[in-house]
Amino acid sequence: MSRRLPNCMDDNEGIPVRLTVDGQSIDIDADPEMPLLWALRDLAGKTGPKFGCGIAACGACTVHVDGSPVRSCVLKVGEVHGPVTTIEGIGSAEKLHPVQQAWLEEQVAQCGYCQAGQIMSAVALLDEVPSPTDADIDNAMGGNLCRCGTYPKIRAAIKRAAALKTAGA
Amino acid sequence: MASIGKIARRAFLIGAAAVAGGVAVGYYYYRKPYANPLDDQLAAGEATFNPYVKIAPDNTITIIAPREEMGQGVSTTLAALVAEELDVTLEQVRVEHGPTSKAYYNAAILEEGGPFAFFDESTLAEATRNGMGVVGKFLGLQGTGGSSSIRDGWDKMRQAGAAARFMLVAAAAQRLGVPAGELETADGKVLHRQSGRTLTYGELAAEAAARSPPSEVALKEKKDWKLLGKPQKRVDMLAKVTGAPVFGIDVRLPEMLYGTVKFSPRFGAAPIRTDLSKAEKMPGVVKIVPLETTYGHGFGVIAQNTWAAFKAAEAIEVEWGKAAYPADSAAIAKTLADALASNGGSAMRDDGDVDTAFADAPREKIVEADYFVPYLAHATMEPMNATAQLRDGALEIWCGNQSPTLVREQCAAAVGVDQDRVVVHTAYLGGGFGRRIEMDYALCAALMARETEGRPVKVTWTREEDTRHDTYRPAALGKFQARLGDDGLPVAIDMKIASPSIMASVLRRLYPSIPALGPDKTIVDGAYNQPYTVPDYRVTAIAAPIDIPIGFWRSVGNSVNGFFHEGFLDEIAIAGKTDPVELRRKLMAAYPAAVKVIEKVAEISKWSEPLPAGRAKGVAFTQSFGSWVAEVVQVADTPAGIRIEKVWIAADVGTALDPGIIEAQLVSAAVYGLSAAVNQEITFTDGAVEQSNFHDFDCMRIFQCPQFEVAILENYHRMGGVGEIATPPAAPALANAIFALTGKRLRSLPLSREVRFA
């Protein structure tokens, strides 16, 4: 399915870009230099990925491109070649991804602003390492800041998600 | 404290703030209740009982939790206060922040604004608390800060739930023709057990809400609580794990434009020469407008998307005026040192006769030290932002904020409309920590909305603007001395602390016509009001003249003075050859709640058991926001540097309404304090902040985060706050642990200037 969005005005001076986001084909007009994050948030209406730093230092903007975690605040939209998955594409309130389920059960989030990025990093970690060690978690999650200090619960939730995924597999 | 009377007679800055809000309107006005703001917001068939409860015919029950959710879990616990007495589950209710209204005034936020320790229950202290509560109602300040929300809501929100339940039961009694005493309530229903008949609250709401509210209601006893005192599932959790658009930055509106701001790097400096021509030609730019508020000068860029606005802001060429304050970190340090040497200031605690105690003290009994902490940014994860729309003389604003009534008041004045023509939608905050009690982000959006011909504009700051235009935790310099007695315990302590006044800075921005008079207790909060008994004990606050914007940073003055006081107390313990836990236990003997906290943290951390070589522990205690908190930090010497291995926290909060949320807040606040202690500082050159983003103002990350063990106590007879209380002891406990590990005494933050961390 393809759709045009109301924000795509002629004076944007962009070029047509087709993205596949969360399984949906989206056509936007964007400056190819524009970071994927802003194309998603402002042009495609996907506000799940968050703006935190703009320099790939906090991880709040983490999405998957072709299944790999990327910081969308520094990836130019013109250089995206592959399907994009955001927090809105991995599960929903009605059907949570096991990582979201674990986050809910561990009551991880406080302010919650970083959590979409944390969850996307955790999903990518568990896709690669089904039973991560503490060191694996440190490595995979070190780029995701949380100012509320939810790290102990993030660690617990990743381990819980690993168990949930194993049980569900 | 014996000397507090002479201090209380002086004018306090908090009093000046109260006058600004128009307190002098008499007792009658105070007694008069505010109207219920839900009255004109009801859906068809919906009924409201008071500002906290509305119920629809289909039994949709809505609880208003009118404090701002910034992660502290306040929406869940406030809703639980109402739900407990209304006899509904949290799963079956909708929880909303609700409208902006003075009816949701926060009285508790000011109650501890007087110059009294929390545990001072003298007549004067209590009278001041009551007076400040009245001030809170007068101001009608709907706001979240000072770890006050639950204390403020504790009675009135339980009463709101109980009153609504009373009215529902009375309506059911009439409908069923049975005595009210035969009716029970549970899960949003009224049950008549004898006949087996039940009515939902929704079926009764309209007739129940039409009844007169009871003049008095009985509240449940603690033993009968179903929700309170037990961990609840947070009402905001599902939205936050599914990426739902719940933050101010997620707002999307038809025809919306986007924007950003570029402020003078030197606070308050105006542009001398500006060239917008390059920026205005950038793709996607709609308009660039000058901005001027009490926060300073700058430009607002309005564009077709946020990225275009960011790029255009970079392209603005402007030469800014000079700084009207000490322009670099060395000049700031000198101003602090000069203030400290001035012999001025206000002794906020003055027990015994300190001057005499030191006059004849033998040299070997004296302990002296100078301490320093730097400026700090809040660095909320969600950068400052707000969305505004001005059309037909009405202003609408969407943002996360810590005071909707202040947003309404300030933005109405800025764009020149009446307050009743302003609607403020308060979103969840992607972090607050005191930053969002400020108004700059909302003012910028409101002013830029004047330029968009009725279209909404979402104004998002870059991280760089956010870092460089904060209202910072101020730097502070302390000079301390103690005289030891023959038993090693201190017989005299003299602490002088110089720092710019937060209250004066806040007043300059929010009420610039009000002069800042009198001492500011935030300069010494956490040092002057601690539960230690020392015969000669003086703590002096000296306001230093540095006009860099400063504000409320999680735990405010306690974040400074927790480090100062507890670091110095550790030095006293070592000099007097007393165990640091034992020293505190002895000095706190008059305050049993404090003793129990320090004993608890010693117990769970196995303080008295020896550690293997290469590991050490440090302890610290701070009473703040009505709660008593002790922390022990364990550090280890590793090849990569010092590793913070584990933190134990014991906290007495009086009454623990949600142990799960409280534990999360204690860990959170400790991590916040450790982040600052290890790594963070805001420094200045040529009047501008040197740091700009997380690469040079980093925060604790998952691989640096210690393990935590928390004990929550309920010994004290008054309820304390939760959201900030674990920040103050974190830095000193860490510094004291590093001393125990290395023998190196660290008196200046951040610690990474002197030691390497793993």
Instruction: List pLDDT tens digits, range A73-103.
Output: 999 999 999 999 999 999 999 999 999 999 9
Determine the distance in angstroms separating the CA of A162 from the nearest CA of chain B, rounded to an integer: 17
Query: Would you call B695 an interface residue with chain A, using a CB distance cutoff of 8 Å?
Result: yes
Q: Which residues of chain A does B304 touch, with a Cβ-Cβ cutoff of 8 Å?
A: 7, 9, 11-12
Domain end (from B460, B484, B499): B460
Average of per-residue pLDDT across B74-99? 97
User: Can you tell me the distance from the alpha carbon of A143 to that of A140, in angstroms, rounded to the nearest whole number?
Assistant: 7
Average of per-residue pLDDT across B457-462? 98
Determine the distance in angstroms separating the CA of A6 from the nearest CA of chain B, rounded to an integer: 8
Give me chain A's average pLDDT, please.
Answer: 92
Domain of residue B86, CATH code: 3.30.365.10
Bridge partners (DSSP) of residue B304 are none
Mark whether B364 and B435 lie in a shared domain: no
Mark whether B519 and B586 lie in a shared domain: yes
With an 8 Å Cβ cutoff, are B383 and A52 in contact? yes
Determine the distance in angstroms separating the CA of A23 from the nearest CA of chain B, rounded to an integer: 17
pLDDT band, residue B8 (cuts 50/70/90): very low
pLDDT band, residue B121 (cuts 50/70/90): confident
pLDDT beyond 60 at A6: no
In-domain check, residue B19:
no
Instruction: List pLDDT tens digits, range B381-406.
Output: 999 999 999 999 999 999 999 999 99
Structure letter (DSSP) for residue B188: T
In-domain check, residue B690:
yes
CATH 1.10.150.120 is right for the domain spanning A91-168? yes
Nearest alpha-carbon partner for B117 in B561, B582, B682: B561
Q: Which residues of chain A does B381 touch, with a Cβ-Cβ cutoff of 8 Å?
A: 50, 52, 58, 60, 111, 113-114, 145-148
Contact B499, B476 (CB under 8 A): yes
In-domain check, residue B116:
no
- 3-state SS, one letter per residue, for B388-423: EEEECCEEEEEECCCCHHHHHHHHHHHHCCCHHHEE
> What is the tally of structural domains in chain B?
3
pLDDT band, residue B589 (cuts 50/70/90): very high
Mark whether B148 and B271 lie in a shared domain: no
| Closest residue, chain A, to B695 (C-alpha) | A57
pLDDT beyond 50 at B209: yes
Question: Roughly how many angstroms between the first and final C-alpha of chain A, as a whole number?
Answer: 31
Q: Which residues contact A85 (CB under 8 A, 6 or more apart)?
A: A21, A22, A63, A64, A65, A67, A120
Q: Which domain holds residue B317?
A: 248-323+384-460
Nearest alpha-carbon partner for B204 in B218, B220, B183: B183
Domain end (from B206, B240, B274): B240
Mark whether B337 and B452 lie in a shared domain: no
Q: Which residues contact B26 (CB under 8 A, 6 or more apart)?
A: none
In-domain check, residue B392:
yes
With an 8 Å Cβ cutoff, are A150 and B664 in contact? yes
Query: Would you call A5 an interface residue with chain B, using a CB distance cutoff of 8 Å?
Result: no
Query: Would you call B238 an interface residue with chain A, using a CB distance cutoff of 8 Å?
Result: yes
Task: Write down the pLDDT at residue B650.
Answer: 98
Q: Which residues of chain A does B306 touch, with a Cβ-Cβ cutoff of 8 Å?
A: 38, 41-42, 51
For chain B positions 641-660, those within 8 Å of chain A (CB to CB) are 660
In-domain check, residue B7:
no
Task: Write down the pLDDT at residue B27.
Answer: 39
Determine the distance in angstroms separating the CA of B74 from the nearest CA of chain A, rounded to an integer: 10
pLDDT beyond 80 at B110: no
Query: Would you call B462 an interface residue with chain A, using a CB distance cutoff of 8 Å?
Result: yes
Query: Would you call B705 an interface residue with chain A, using a CB distance cutoff of 8 Å?
Result: yes
Instruction: List pLDDT tens digits, range B627-671.
Output: 999 999 999 999 999 999 999 999 999 999 999 999 999 999 999
Mark whether B340 and B317 lie in a shared domain: no
Query: Would you call A1 an interface residue with chain B, using a CB distance cutoff of 8 Å?
Result: no
Instruction: List pLDDT tens digits, range B627-639.
Output: 999 999 999 999 9
Task: Write down the pLDDT at residue B347.
Answer: 95
Give me chain B's average pLDDT, please.
Answer: 93
Angle between helix axes A151-168 and A134-141 (nearest 10 degrees) is 110
Mark whether B421 and B557 lie in a shared domain: no
For chain B positions 274-293, those within 8 Å of chain A (CB to CB) are 283-284
With an 8 Å Cβ cutoff, are A104 and B247 in contact? no
Domain locations in chain A as residue ranges: 2-89, 91-168
Mark whether B219 and B293 lie in a shared domain: no
In-domain check, residue B708:
yes
Query: Would you call B672 an interface residue with chain A, using a CB distance cutoff of 8 Å?
Result: yes
Mark whether B315 and B212 lie in a shared domain: no
Strand spans (E) along B639-718: 641-652, 684-685, 688-689, 707-713
CATH 3.10.20.30 is right for the domain spanning A2-89? yes
Mark whether B425 and B504 lie in a shared domain: no
Q: Which residues of chain A does B708 touch, with a Cβ-Cβ cutoff of 8 Å?
A: 152
Determine the distance in angstroms separating the CA of A59 from the nearest CA of chain B, rounded to an integer: 10
Pairs across A and B, CB distance < 8 A: 195
pLDDT beyond 50 at B563: yes
In-domain check, residue B10:
no
pLDDT beyond 80 at B264: yes
Mark whether B442 and B569 lie in a shared domain: no
Q: How far is residue B293 from each of residues B264, B303, B388, B418, B512, measured CA to CA in Å?
A: 12, 21, 16, 18, 11
Nearest alpha-carbon partner for B53 in B82, B89, B80: B82
Its pTM stands at: 0.95
| Closest residue, chain A, to B304 (C-alpha) | A12
pLDDT beyond 60 at B13: no
Domain end (from B193, B220, B240): B240
Higher pLDDT among residues B112 and B43, named by residue: B43
In-domain check, residue B466:
no
Q: What is the ipTM of this complex?
A: 0.94
| Closest residue, chain A, to B259 (C-alpha) | A42
Structural tokens at position B365: 């009994």
pLDDT band, residue B22 (cuts 50/70/90): very low
